[in-house]
Amino acid sequence: MGSHNNLGANTHFPRTFVFKQTFYSIFQQGKKRILAGERPTSLADAETIDQKILEKHRTYLARLESFPLKKAAYYQRLKESAGVHSVRGLSEITGEDWSYIARLLRILKLPESIKKVLLENQNPAIVKHFHLRRLLEIVRLSPNIQTQRFGEIMEVFKEFYPAPHFC
């Protein structure tokens, strides 16, 4: 009877399997196969799916780095598509600092008229001037003052882009 109890499932400790031989997995026709042995030299240069996704993500972020509004929109889309509900969850996916992501997402609260002007007119001088910190300063203002302040800032750049007209 005592030996029978030893055969039952142990609910106190997780099962641990020790493999003495190395293994690798491959995908063929949508099915995963786990193969024993060292990874063949012909597959040594092949990237894993995770490596490809991470590299694609880093490349895309490098292009967005200069314009925080586009990067914020990208993070919002990533948040929705991945089903992540928190900024910390996005941080785990992207490897970015969670406080940086939170600041980026905050600029999406800008009025649509301001976002439209910034997205349609990406003059390098304007893009450089409207960095993350400046956009956050505008977001912190009350909604009825945000558009006015944005217009004042744009007046400085009349030689690059005429002052926007708002309703």
pLDDT in tens, 15-32: 655 656 565 566 666 676
Q: Specify the residue for token string 């999406």.
A: 108
Quote the tokens at residue 127.
Answer: 């893009």
Q: Residue 67: inside a domain, yes or no?
A: no
Q: Residue 66: inside a domain, yes or no?
A: no
> Rounded CA gap, 101 and 99, in Å?
5
Nearest in space to 136 (alpha carbons), one of 96, 99, 104, 113: 104
Q: Residue 102: inside a domain, yes or no?
A: no
Q: Residue 105: inside a domain, yes or no?
A: no
Q: 135 is in which domain, residue-wise?
A: 110-155
Domain count, the chain: 2
Give the global pTM.
Answer: 0.56
In terms of average pLDDT, the best of 1-10, 16-25, 129-138, 154-163 is 129-138
Q: Choose between 120 and 30: higher pLDDT.
A: 120
Mean pLDDT for all residues in the chain: 75
pLDDT at 119 over 50: yes
pLDDT (0 to 100) of residue 27: 64
> What residues contact 108, with CB distance under 8 A and at least 6 apart?
69, 72, 73, 76, 115
Q: Residue 62: inside a domain, yes or no?
A: no
pLDDT tens digits, one per residue of 56-113: 777 766 665 668 888 898 889 988 888 888 999 888 888 888 999 999 999 999 999 9
**Three-state SS sequence of the chain:** CHHHHHHCCCCCCCCCCCCCCCEEEEEECCEEEEEECCCCHHHCCCCCHHHHHHHHHHHHHHHHCCCHHHHHHHHHHHHHHHCCCCHHHHHHHHCCCHHHHHHHHHHHHCCHHHHHHHHHCCCHHHHHHCCHHHHHHHHHCCHHHHHHHHHHHHHCCCCCCCCCCCC
> Rounded CA gap, 37 and 27, in Å?
16
pLDDT (0 to 100) of residue 112: 93
pLDDT (0 to 100) of residue 3: 47
Q: Residue 137: inside a domain, yes or no?
A: yes
Q: Residue 60: inside a domain, yes or no?
A: no
